[in-house]
Amino acid sequence: MKGLSKLLGLSVLLAVGCGSPSADKGNFIEENVANAAQQLTLQTDLIEQSGRILNPRTTKADGSIQYIPIDDWTSGFFPGTMWYIYRLTDDPKWLPLAKKYTEALDSVQYLTWHHDVGFMIGCSYLNGYRFDSLPAYKDVIVQAARSLATRYRPGARTIQSWNVDRGWQSERGWKCPVIIDNMMNLELLFEASLLSGDTTLWNIAVNHANTTMANHFRPDNSCYHVVDYDPETGAVRARQTAQGYADESAWARGQAWALYGYTLCYRYTKDERYLKQAEKVANFIFNNKNLPADLVPYWDYDAPNIPNEPRDVSAAACTASALYELSTYVPDKGYKEKADKIMESLSSPAYRAPVGTNNNFILMHSVGSIPHGQEIDVPLNYADYYYLEALLRKRSLEQNTK
């Protein structure tokens, strides 16, 4: 636990102190926490009444809730949401639910066929370990990181995101595709290295961050979604997109992943290059001519029919959470104020669902993948996850500055 605490950065703030914030700031947080708790109570009541352990991801085309198997890349977000609502409310009723939904993912620690084990175990088990110090969770975190490390390609100094022998990936001619989303999985490697003393995991994370920084970004500091490498030589074979509008466009959630990913890399390493990269991405986002006034982006900054394009609340929520952490490292550039404005927008009736609607998800109007025709203008479990994380970070920051 000592190693874990040493480099947690803002996450240390998340795990301490739940006193009442000042009234003017606290009302916003408390009202949104109360709303979230009501929605999640309805959501978990449905699950508990089923007699099964179900994992909600989104709303299907027929209006029903889409529940997912444990090997779905988003399976860690709902358990993580349980940990966050437990921390935000201090209500003991959430603890057994957080444990039960987390521990349903036990076998994910051995998953090696895609890279998202970082999302899946990091959001569930790692939050559980931080908030409840469960010793058994440590072993799962370390094993999951070692499973993720099997996807490291030494010749390219990067972690391969997808296998290329299945589905639409096999049609692209890729050899070693790496997506910007993969930056989010590095937290699991850093933490597992601290918990186990295995420096190989740390070095893999650093190498991946460096390779991505060298090859994923354009001169304007926007990032590509997919970079395909030769796994033996590391040569870049292609720079493309899978979920954005076009290969040279700036997919909104990809920019959020980049901002969050390099901010967390700075948390652990204190390497100034990562901090500067995070700031470059933030500058791209907030200086973009197509960013709406409410700071909730369209699904792609270069989508052809702006302003008549879907917004992506999941990108906004992830951006806000990242900005709260970034503001602790660079306190004088207005990052917290931008995060606050995003959160005010997300908490408005334009994006926050009334209690009992939206299939009991907290936020509306996210986008999964428009090119694949999937999850367009729907709730998504990861939008809710990062929204609650942002609320927790906002509260922690304001309690420590009042």
The per-residue pLDDT for range 67-101, each reduced to its tens digit, is 999 999 999 999 999 999 999 999 999 999 999 99
CA-nearest of 395, 390, 264, 275 to 338 is: 390
Q: What is the pLDDT of residue 134?
A: 86
Compute how many other C-beta atoms are within 10 angstroms of the C-beta atom of residue 110. Answer: 12
Name the DSSP class of 288.
-
Global pTM value: 0.94
- The tens digit of pLDDT for each residue in 241-262 reads 999 999 999 999 999 999 999 9
Name the nearest CA neighbour of 282 among 332, 328, 241, 338: 338
Catalytic residue, candidates 24, 71, 106, 116: 116
When comparing pLDDT for 250 and 166, which is higher? 250
pLDDT band at 402 (very low <50, low <70, confident <90, very high): low
Which one of 90, 91, 139, 181 is the catalytic residue? 181
CA-based angle 77:80:81, to the nearest 5? 85
Question: 2-399 sits in which CATH class?
Answer: mainly alpha
Distance CA 313, CA 345 (A): 10
247 is catalytic: no
pLDDT band at 11 (very low <50, low <70, confident <90, very high): very low
Question: Is pLDDT larger for residue 354 or for residue 13?
Answer: 354
Q: Report residue 166's pLDDT band, with 50, 70 and 90 as the boundaries.
A: low
pLDDT at 387 over 60: yes
Whether residue 181 lies in the annotated active site: yes
Structural domain boundaries in the chain:
2-399
Sequence-distant contacts of 227-230: CB under 8 A, at least 24 apart: 227/177, 227/178, 228/172, 228/174, 228/175, 228/176, 228/177, 228/178, 229/153, 229/156, 229/158, 229/175, 229/176, 229/177, 229/178, 230/155, 230/156, 230/175, 230/176
Mean pLDDT value of segment 27-49: 98
